[in-house]
Structure 1
């Protein structure tokens, strides 16, 4: 198994043209169905967001500075346990986009005609910009779906927008974002590994480990 550093170098060497070829071969156009922005059954929507992406959303001109960390992100729920009161506690890694009371992404809006829209579309995280595609390298988000290219590097998740015509320009834009996401995911994974120091959270407390160290649920450093 390659080291994360080796995988990062591989991600940096990905050819945008090759990624675009794979995307173009299957085709994609967003139908605004909202499936990638909403929760499923009893599972809330979960999309990884990097610390710097949280701050970019906080500072976006679209929201006039009205958002704080908790409006944008929540602790990734995996690995946390429920208290007797139904709250979560424990240690986890990384952040997920915040959800509303229905378990949908907090930035998801649905029009009267049933089509979906993103209130943070211009500032949306890389995982949203690249859906339904992912790059299958160790250290990146766990690849799902079918391989698009012969090497199995590009994967396509289930999405009703697949199979639709896509222009070369749009395929290349998506490919560049896909490469950037793969690089940043690996950079984040390496930094999380290097910064990680185990802690013993107090009862009812959540500690989140990201590339910047251990944090509280409001995004402030644990050491403060």
Structure 2
């Protein structure tokens, strides 16, 4: 894999118009099925959220008004690398889940139509699903690509192949570029600031772009 700094420059040079062309070629319309917000079989919903996005969601109420949530109401340690009790060291944060393993912000009507209670403040990974950019160091949510056009990869979603307006394609493309840049910036910052935390038995440490944190978002060592 190429150096992360090289990939970051590639991400910054992405042409939004070309990304929008690719999205139009693939096609997409959200059907509000909720599949991207819910657990899959025995695997809880896992979506990366950046530290500043956690803070934004902490202050965003379900009705769009000002609110204040605990860090743990919004995010949980990314489970990868932790033991079965959730202890150890891991990198980055995942959106918090409910008792069913669904995203804590997911709501569903009686007819099965899904919605996001913080839609206007949702993280970039949610704004851009089911698409990702074919760059090293950026994530590919929900498995391998099922379709692709140019630099854009599409992941499993029943809304693929549907007509999308140019305006919506460009909006999605802009968010997709922003996410690609942010993911690489975060990866570089995590790499540069990482120092083994050596957590004790039952302890969890999350390394993000701001340093080492406890599950409640507080900084280790403070």
Instruction: Answer whether TM exceeds 0.5 for this pair.
Output: yes
Q: Find the counterpart in structure 2 of residue 4 from structure 1.
A: 4
Q: Specify the SS of the correspondent of 1:185.
A: helix
Shift of 1:56: 0.6
Q: Find the counterpart in structure 1 of residue 118 from structure 2.
A: 120
CA distance in 1, matches of 2:185, 2:205: 21
> How many pairs does the alignment contain?
218
Query: Which residue among 176, 179, 182 is the counterpart of 1:181?
Result: 179
Q: Specify the SS of the correspondent of 2:35.
A: coil
Q: Find the counterpart in structure 1 of residue 131 from structure 2.
A: 133
Q: Find the counterpart in structure 2 of residue 93 from structure 1.
A: 91
Q: Map 1:39-118; keep pairs closer than 5 Å.
A: 39-61=39-61, 62=64, 64-82=66-84, 87-118=85-116
CA distance in 1, matches of 2:51, 2:147: 29
Q: Specify the SS of the correspondent of 2:87.
A: strand
TM-score (norm 1): 0.94
Unaligned 5+ runs, structure 2: none
Is this contact kept in 1: 2:26–2:149, CA < 8 A?
Answer: no
Q: Find the counterpart in structure 1 of residue 155 from structure 2.
A: 157
Deviations 1:205-224 (A, max 9, x none): 10000000000000000011
CA distance in 2, matches of 1:142, 1:190: 18
Taking only aligned residues, the RMSD between alpha carbons, in angstroms, comes to 1.1
Deviations 1:17-71 (A, max 9, x none): 1000000011100000000000011100000000000001111253642311000
Unaligned 5+ runs, structure 1: none
Select between 32-41 and 54-63 the one with higher mean Cα deviation.
Answer: 54-63
Q: Specify the SS of the correspondent of 2:37.
A: coil
CA distance in 1, matches of 2:10, 2:152: 13
Q: Specify the SS of the correspondent of 1:173.
A: helix
Runs (4+) of structure 1 moved beyond 6 Å?
none
